[in-house]
Chains A and B, each alone.
Chain A
Amino acid sequence: MNSLINIINFVPRELMDARFRGAQTSILAAVVLGTVFVYLFTALMAKFPGKDVQEILTAAISRGVINPLIIIFAALWCAAGLITILSFIDITLRFISPDTGPYLVVLGFLVVVCFCARMDSLSLLYGLEVMLGISVPLILYTLIKAVTNPDFSWDAVLQIITYFPHAPDVKSMAAATFSFSGYINMAVFNRVLPKMRLKHRWILGVQGLAVLLLTFYVPIGYFGTVAVERHVYTWFSTADSIGINTFIIERMLFIFYFAYLNLSLTSVIIHWHVGKELLTGLFPSPKNPKSRAKKWRELAILGLFSAITLTLMRLDQYQLNILGIWFLLARWLGELLLIMLLFYCYTMLRRRKP
């Protein structure tokens, strides 16, 4: 799932801050919690084939309660995309084209994202698959290169491992569960997915654990136990530290950047698409599906998202970080709320149809 890879932005920083305290136990706890969440959510959604969250909720709860809830959820999704796009713009400006004006970069990204987010859900899912197919090999190559480097300091990694026995830290746990939260997009995509076969969900847990441990240990191997906190974009700095001798490009940074450009934009598109779908669902659906009103509504919503992005461009690095952390916590609670709501709907449904 796509969020799995998107943890590069804020999650490592949060984990690094807690590296001497309880980051590692937090990762373990997050893997357990995240997998449980995935199990619960997918199981619940499978009980309502072909429906999205809105349709499920309307069946059980009164409209007055749903509307604010949906707005809150849509805001969360909007924020998810927002955080990713903001930090990625920052990275682009820092590493790739410092000469280009920031607003030009933002506009370029926003145009791509908004037009893609208007596509229908199924084609987006296919697009996601293609993007993953392109990016994952590049990321794997980066990781293999990173770990096989003779300068990789295994002693630093082992030293951090000896800091294992600490109680988990709430912030880093919330951050680490973010890598599992791709499943939550099924809230909307459930509508187009064929009847799911819920097999091999444990793989998600294993893969999540592997990815989290790698994101945590590899920068430590490169920057040591102490200096790692001094880097802002820990993973981009790490990629910058890897050189490739036998290739056309000498710096790993560009390959890594390309892979993450793909993934981040796709992730923003997916998140905003879900947010948009949720919000358009608030209005009564017009009879003619291709009506002008619907189109303008979609554009207005995406325009609103873009406007928020543009206003938040003013934040400096530390404010952005704080925003990211708040979002990580809020998202976690939101997920919990959504699962509880679904569970409530499910019990209501069962009671009505004995």
Chain B
Amino acid sequence: MRRLLLGIGLLLLCLTTGCEYKDIDRRIFVVAIGIDPGEKEDHYKVSLKLAIPQGDVTKIDEKMQILTEESSSISEALRRMKSKVEKELDYVHCKSLIVGEKLAAEDIRHVLDWAVRRRDIQLILNFAVGRPEALQVIQVKPPSERIPSNSLIMAMSGQGTESPFIASVYAYQLMRNIYENGKDPILPIIEAQGKEQFLINQIALLDKQKIRLVLSPKETRLFNLLTRSNLRTNFPATVDDGKYQYYTESSSSSYRIITTKEGEPAIRYKIKIKGILEESSTQEIVTHSLLQQISDAGAEALNQEVEALLYKVRDSGLDPFGWGIHYGARHWNNSTELKEWERLYPRLKFQVEAAVGVKYSGMIR
């Protein structure tokens, strides 16, 4: 029996030493994928950013390579790229996929389907729209970057910078919102500015397949304020002639869909912000009453801006906040609620109640 066991064990060992697993120095890692529409009709221009593995961490010198290939399908382009490099392309470390703006203006579902269907591409892949082209975004190489494409990953996932203008969208979120009834997807827009800098400060609102509306940076920040908690940013407040800026230490928002006294549907947003005074244009000593005035003025300004954004979103007919599914989740008439909601949607009114509490005047009074 022992001998039999030993024999089988040896046999298995012989099998496992086969070259089915490729060593790290025979692999090359794809860290970002960019997809643009090709020159020809219905063609894709796929670009890959490759990171070359390096042994010594202390002497890291960023080594990367960019491949581009055009073909009628994404997979075909990738297969063809295989013959441009000597190593095996490995996608498991790919963390961002940039869709060119032109492609996103037509249809992103094909790209999404491909990314989710591939088994070796993660579902926590960051999706974004690249401007003017995905290739240019991929080519950006900031001087602060030490690992290839790391800046893009850090900026998009929010692990590095906590910019209030960036919204990160993962592949699974995009897929969920594309198919969900009563919620529409969004995508952040990355703009390449030269070879060394990018700018991410806008959000594109999509219907189920393409970009329909692009928010300005200011609106993007308000959008993030409404969808995320504890957004770190600053908002202005004007009291008399003094211009003030307060920093949000904590923020939260919630909404309810209600029916007003006149029988009209409305959404009541409540925003709570706790802040610190960060900047003041006057030389006045900040008093308690001034702090309160700043809070009230800030809340008032915020109310108006958020309301304007909400009406703008409503008029576009999109639902990036998921009001529709929120409505459906609180009504039991499942067969009719979506139609009901479509009827209500254009007539929606918004009531924004921002409660801003500026608690400290900062380090000086």
Residues on A close to B: CB < 8 A? 20, 94-95, 97-101, 104, 107-108, 111, 115, 150-151, 153, 155-159, 161-163, 165, 222-227, 230, 237, 240-243, 245, 251, 253, 295
Nearest CB to that of A244 among chain B residues?
B124
What would 29 A/B residue contacts be, using CB atoms closer than 8 Å?
A95-B119, A99-B20, A101-B20, A104-B15, A108-B12, A150-B228, A150-B229, A151-B170, A153-B176, A153-B322, A155-B322, A158-B330, A159-B182, A159-B325, A162-B330, A165-B332, A222-B172, A223-B172, A224-B175, A225-B180, A227-B175, A227-B176, A227-B180, A230-B116, A230-B175, A241-B124, A243-B124, A251-B122, A251-B124
A222 to B124, CA, bound (A): 11
In the complex, the answer to whether B119 meets A99 with C-beta atoms within 8 Å is no
A91 to B123, CA, bound (A): 16
Cβ-based interface call for B8 (8 A): yes
Nearest CB to that of A166 among chain B residues?
B334
In the complex, the answer to whether B328 meets A162 with C-beta atoms within 8 Å is yes
Which residues from chain B contact A107 at a C-beta distance below 8 Å?
Answer: 12, 15
In the complex, the answer to whether B325 meets A155 with C-beta atoms within 8 Å is yes
Nearest CB of B to A147, in Å:
15
In the complex, the answer to whether A155 meets B326 with C-beta atoms within 8 Å is yes
Nearest CB of B to A285, in Å:
20
User: How many contacting A-B pairs (Cβ < 8 A)?
Assistant: 97
Query: Interface SS of chain A: helix, strand, loop or mixed?
Result: helix
In the complex, the answer to whether B329 meets A155 with C-beta atoms within 8 Å is yes
A104 to B122, CA, bound (A): 25
In the complex, the answer to whether B329 meets A159 with C-beta atoms within 8 Å is yes
Q: Which of A224, A226, A237, A295 has the most CB of B within 10 A?
A: A224
Which residues from chain A contact B175 at a C-beta distance below 8 Å?
Answer: 223-224, 227, 230
In the complex, the answer to whether B21 meets A100 with C-beta atoms within 8 Å is yes
In residues 157-201 of chain B, which contact A (Cβ within 8 Å)? Answer: 157, 159, 170, 172-173, 175-183
A226 to B182, CA, bound (A): 11
- Not counting A151-B173, A230-B175, A241-B170, a sample of 7 additional A-B residue pairs whose C-beta atoms are within 8 angstroms of each other reads A99-B22, A151-B170, A157-B329, A158-B330, A159-B328, A241-B123, A253-B122
In the complex, the answer to whether A163 meets B329 with C-beta atoms within 8 Å is no
A344 to B361, CA, bound (A): 82
Nearest CB to that of B178 among chain A residues?
A227
In the complex, the answer to whether B20 meets A100 with C-beta atoms within 8 Å is yes
Nearest CB of B to A154, in Å:
8
Which residues from chain B contact A223 at a C-beta distance below 8 Å?
Answer: 172, 175-176
Which residues from chain B contact A253 at a C-beta distance below 8 Å?
Answer: 122
Nearest CB to that of A250 among chain B residues?
B124
Cβ-based interface call for B331 (8 A): yes
A223 to B178, CA, bound (A): 10
In the complex, the answer to whether B12 meets A111 with C-beta atoms within 8 Å is yes
Ranked nearest first, the 3 interchain pairs of A and B with the lowest CB-CB distance are A158-B329, A224-B176, A227-B179
In residues 202-239 of chain B, which contact A (Cβ within 8 Å)? Answer: 228-229
Nearest CB to that of B119 among chain A residues?
A94
Q: Which of B119, B120, B159, B229 has the most CB of A within 10 A?
A: B119
Nearest CB to that of A101 among chain B residues?
B20
A224 to B184, CA, bound (A): 12
User: What sequence of 0s and 1s flags, for each residue 139-157 of chain B, a beta carbon within 8 Å of any chain A beta carbon?
Assistant: 0000000000000000001
Which residues from chain B contact A162 at a C-beta distance below 8 Å?
Answer: 328-332, 334
